[in-house]
Amino acid sequence: MDWKKLVSLLKGHKVYIQTHNYPDPDAMASALGLQVFLKNHKVDSILCYDGKIEKLSTKRMLDVFQFEIYNIADITDMQETDYIVTVDAQKYNANITDFIGEEVACIDHHPTVIPCDYLYKDVRYTGACATLITEYFKESNTPLDSNTATALLYGLRVDTNNLTRGVTPLDIDMFSYLYEYVDEDKLSAMSNSNMELKDLQAYGAAIENIKIFDNIGFAEIPFDCPDGLIAMVSDFILDLDVVEFSVVYATREDGLKFSVRSELSWLNAGEIIAEALDGIGSGGGHATMAGGFVPAENIEKLGYLYNDEVEQRFVSICKRKGNMEHK
């Protein structure tokens, strides 16, 4: 991390900070945090994304933390010479749209799938991207207001499932640093009533058709729902005492959206979903949490009973990796 290099790179340019499509709390908090950080160093920026802000908790962030982020459809003046910094995502990934501007910088905590020659790159494994953004404030002694600190802490907390998933020492250090500045009222506002009726419908659908093979849990949500909700259901399935690896997918008009979770070191969620969907879609992520997508036109490659083929692909890979681990 070289915050001076980043600031120097961006000065004198029109700057956009882009999250992944359908941004979650960590992406939103990271974008806001970086915007505030750059503002403190005389660099203005505009937050942007593609897709929709669907989850109630994510929508509420806009009201509680009072910031603006624009859908690309509402930005009509972006130019090829404008600079883009991607946060919580990397260019060429399936979950981020390639805008007309130039992606000159990237700050992300996910493994790199397709390399990109950024002018500035800060890609490190942590539980949340908000952790990396927080470190910029700390290392540069940049003033941190309570609103921004609370947003960053909320994003960090959500992406690590309350510091229980994929946590690194840096996450813990930055959590402690942020906590000194937190607005308890705003944090409480974000923690209350974050579930909508459609969330319950997704949980209900998953419960109705859950299947368990040894320690692997599968569930299909037979209707479209937000990425964040699919991930929440995957976490829910993983919480079952007999499940150590969960695969949840939702049927959308444009294809199948997957969320995978793992509690076992030898079952790397990112590697397994990439292999399982190879040739029919794309997938990747962390060792403990990952996502993927199969376009509608490729579902027929899975056969008439595509659910069975999905299950077989994941089970066979997990069994092979389990056997390799215990040899």
Can you give the pLDDT of all 327 residues of the chain as single tens digits?
899 999 999 999 999 999 998 899 999 999 999 999 999 999 999 999 998 887 777 888 999 999 999 999 999 999 999 999 999 999 988 789 999 999 999 999 988 888 899 999 999 999 999 999 999 999 999 999 999 999 999 999 998 888 888 899 999 999 999 999 999 999 988 876 566 677 788 889 888 889 999 899 999 999 888 887 888 899 999 989 899 999 999 998 889 999 999 999 899 999 999 999 999 998 888 888 889 999 999 998 888 888 899 999 999 999 988 776 554
Residue 218, SS3 per DSSP:
strand
Q: How far lies 78's CA from each of 34, 67, 73, in Å? A: 20, 20, 11
pLDDT for the residue 200: 83
Q: Does domain 3-191 have CATH number 3.90.1640.10?
A: yes
Nearest CA among 213, 287, 279, 290 for reference residue 249: 290
pLDDT for the residue 194: 63
Under 8 Å between Cβ of 11 and 43: yes
Under 8 Å between Cβ of 189 and 65: no
d(CA 116, CA 104): 10
Q: Please name the residue that has the structure tokens 């950080």.
A: 37
pLDDT for the residue 73: 94
Read off the tokens for 271: 């590697």
Nearest CA among 202, 282, 226, 198 for reference residue 22: 226
Beta bridge partners of 250: 221, 257
Q: What angle do CA 159, 155, 243 make, to 5 degrees?
A: 20
d(CA 234, CA 216): 11
pLDDT for the residue 140: 97
Long-range contacts of 275-280 (CB under 8 A, 24+ apart): 275/317, 276/310, 276/313, 276/314, 276/317, 277/313
Q: Which helix (H) or strand (E) holds 15?
A: strand 15-18
pLDDT for the residue 205: 87
Q: Does domain 197-325 have CATH number 3.40.50.300?
A: no
Return all residues near 320 (Cβ < 8 A) that are at least 6 apart. Answer: none
Domain boundaries, the chain: 3-191, 197-325
Nearest CA among 267, 263, 265, 229 for reference residue 249: 229
One-character DSSP codes across 25-78: HHHHHHHHHHHHHHHHTT---EEEESS---SHHHHHHHHHTT---EEGGG----
Q: What pTM was computed for the model?
A: 0.76
DSSP type of residue 302: G
Q: What is the dihedral of CA 88, 94, 95, 99, to 10 degrees?
A: 90
pLDDT for the residue 102: 96
Residue 9, SS3 per DSSP:
helix
